[in-house]
Amino acid sequence: MVPAVSHFIVVLQLYMVPEFSLQRAFYIISVLVAAYPLFRLHLNQLREPRQPRETAWLRSIFAIFTQAFNSENEHPDFPPEPDDLSEQLAKRLCGDLEHLYHLLGFSSEHPPSQFFPEPHTILCTTRVNCLFCPNEGHPPTLRRHRDPQQIQLLDKSFNWVKAQLYVAYCPKCQAEYYPDRITFLGNETHGRKQRLEYDAAYLRVSKHGIWMDRRIALAQENAILRFHSGWTNFAEWLSDVVDAKPRITARQSQRLYFEHFARRLIIAHELEDSFTVPAHSDAQTLAKTVREVVGENGGIIPGSMNHGCTRCTHLKRYAADLLAEGVVLDANESTVIDAPDPNSIRTAPTTASDEGIPPELLASAFPKQQERAAGSGRGYTRLASMDGKTINHRTCAVNTCDGPLVNFKNGRFCKTHLQMEEICGIIPCGRPVHSTGAVTCDDETHKEWHRKYLNRFSRLSFPGVQRVVRRQTEHGSQAASVPTLHSELPELNGVGGENVVHTFRARTTYCLQTVQWACGCPIGWGKCYQSESSSQVLKIIDRIWEHHPDFRPSFLAYDDACNLLRHIVTQDPQSPWIHITKLIVDAWHYIGHQATDILCRIWCNPAPANGSQPDLVLVQTDDNGVKHTTRAFNTETAEQLNAWLTGYEAQLRQMSDINFDFSVHVLLLLYKELVEKRVKKKNHQQYVGRLCSVT
């Protein structure tokens, strides 16, 4: 029997109270529909002999109905009931279940899933008035723009559904309102502009009418975070899950990524009111515009300057505190607290020179903390850690140029040097290439040298390369007995093969430089191009703290802090990186620096045992009541972040400079959120939100 409206009215009259709200009545009906599978099991059990009329299935149904009739499910604006009728109404409903389900047409041929058909999906803006027009007596209302467009929507249940897209517009300013964006007239120079709707429930991923629920983007975010998924992998996985046409393409997955994370980054940087992009931009234009406002070739992670927890921020300590805690100080200024065992760690001594260092940084004036002024507050001290990771992207093949490639698929030059594609790649030949697509001129020696360059590793096998890399990792690349990869190139015009200058392939950036607090919360990042030189590193940290001078760390741990300190002192003796922040070498790399390097041993000691830097030393008591001195901060968080970034290295290496920068911003934002969750879970958030400056 097909149920009619009259049947539904009978159900409401028999089993509902007139004082119930419509919301509560619909909820009870939905519970009634959901309980049908349990009722089928109840009927099936009754077919066996000697079964009780009231089975455990029926008792479960009664408990479900009792909870459904409870007043907790009532509309909040309705007055409370004087009497609790839930058990009485549930008992009445359970007594007539078989006839009730028959009345509503439920059977094995007509399952309850057909009782509530899928609603028609309509996509439109959530706004009702124009955002740009002034209120002249009444709010500027919106009109319907064109006829609705038939689109395909991947909903929250990972099912393709047909939907209708309605666009609203303002007749005064011609602004158009879509579910995920607003386009409006800009000035004559820029044409129409676009603002993003940051709380959009749906996102357009294709100009051909393909939309996705925002929760699909959240699934992609978690796939990136937990499984290091790329755009193509996520598209294939999503297509397999949906298992229906149209299949999701990698381009659509990439567009979903940029649409979702563009909103995440803009919100994190608090740029919602000012950010605009050309109307109906493609994914690359959107990513480029976001990159321009959040940071190009580097930047800071929003909210990181105000971060403070017990893992990275401590109360200021003085030498008197160490003495009061019973610490026996060491007279040797280069001794390290809780130093790693040098016999179990591969060391790589670095050369150092004290030439050009002012006398005040030499051994004649050892570092010493100022005494605490009477009655002054302690303040806080924070430590940041920095390191480089060889994650890079391709750049122009010209040695003196760091510009991005025009063609990241197989190109070699930036826009400035693009004309060099037409001349010989051997520098400084300068003759035109012998044919279109060639990289050398018609000189046979140049052509032969290029051929051997392409085949320079042809005799190497993949297992052989693996063996070389493994042994280099085990023994260090400087060991004499360790095999090395060696390519044999012939001489060219008297120049050794390894010294021939050419533009046969694009170069890459040198490394990704990251800075984070001692708890792991990332602060900012930048790129080193030719090498991880002190000058480039200084530019990166200067840029990160350029607009936040009061939030410079008390200590900055870096594996080459001694040479960075030399560079800063020789270039700018009044630099705040000398007078506000103390540069130290992280504990792991400190044991590999030369013992004869006076500046490193005295001024960059990560935890001096002589009490000169009590902020870097803590006293802890073990289970036996014995006190031990230990390092106050974890100086290896940069290494830990680099290890986490390794999972994304293969993806980042293949990206353009725009996608690379955008993705690094995204990854560090996600990592910051992970760290903050861990801090909150372990209750280490004592100083969060309380720091305005650090002394």
| Per-residue pLDDT tens digits for 53-64 | 899 999 999 999
- Which pLDDT does position 85 carry in this prediction? 82
Q: Is the pLDDT of residue 162 over 50?
A: yes
More reliable by pLDDT, 419 or 455: 419
The C-alpha atoms of residue 163 and residue 131 are separated, in whole angstroms, by: 26
- Which pLDDT does position 554 carry in this prediction? 93
Considering 112-126, 390-404, 455-469, the range whose residues carry the highest mean pLDDT is 390-404
Number of CB atoms found within 10 A of residue 285's CB: 15
- Which pLDDT does position 356 carry in this prediction? 44
CA-nearest of 162, 161, 158 to 242 is 158
Cβ burial, residue 145 (10 Å; 0-12/13-18/19+): middle
Q: Report DSSP state, residue 308.
A: -
- Which pLDDT does position 349 carry in this prediction? 41
Of 220-224, 264-268, 331-335, 635-639, the one with minimum mean pLDDT is 331-335
Confidence of residue 365 (pLDDT cuts 50, 70, 90): low
- Which pLDDT does position 514 carry in this prediction? 96
Kindly give the interhelix angle for 56-68 and 36-46, rounded to the nearest 10 degrees.
150
Q: Residues 639-667: what's their mean pLDDT? A: 95
Look over the chain and give the mean of its residue pLDDT values, rounded to a whole number: 86
Confidence of residue 372 (pLDDT cuts 50, 70, 90): low
- Which pLDDT does position 17 carry in this prediction? 85
pLDDT in tens, 411-442: 999 999 999 999 999 998 999 999 998 999 99
CA-nearest of 170, 122, 166 to 142 is 170
The C-alpha atoms of residue 261 and residue 277 are separated, in whole angstroms, by: 15
Q: Is the pLDDT of residue 347 over 90?
A: no
- Which pLDDT does position 546 carry in this prediction? 94
Contact between residue 420 and residue 398 where contact means Cβ atoms under 8 Å apart:
yes
Contact between residue 304 and residue 673 where contact means Cβ atoms under 8 Å apart:
no
Q: Is the pLDDT of residue 635 over 60?
A: yes
Please give the backbone phi and psi of residue 99, each rounded to the nearest 5 degrees, phi first.
-70, -35
pLDDT in tens, 614-632: 888 888 888 888 888 888 8
The C-alpha atoms of residue 242 and residue 257 are separated, in whole angstroms, by: 18
Q: Is the pLDDT of residue 659 over 70?
A: yes
pLDDT in tens, 501-558: 999 999 999 999 999 999 999 999 999 998 999 999 999 999 999 999 999 999 999 9
Considering 308-322, 327-341, 650-664, the range whose residues carry the highest mean pLDDT is 650-664
The C-alpha atoms of residue 174 and residue 388 are separated, in whole angstroms, by: 50
More reliable by pLDDT, 277 or 3: 277
- Which pLDDT does position 187 carry in this prediction? 76
More reliable by pLDDT, 354 or 328: 328
- Which pLDDT does position 587 carry in this prediction? 87
Confidence of residue 489 (pLDDT cuts 50, 70, 90): confident
Of 109-113, 250-254, 521-525, the one with minimum mean pLDDT is 109-113
- Which pLDDT does position 472 carry in this prediction? 67
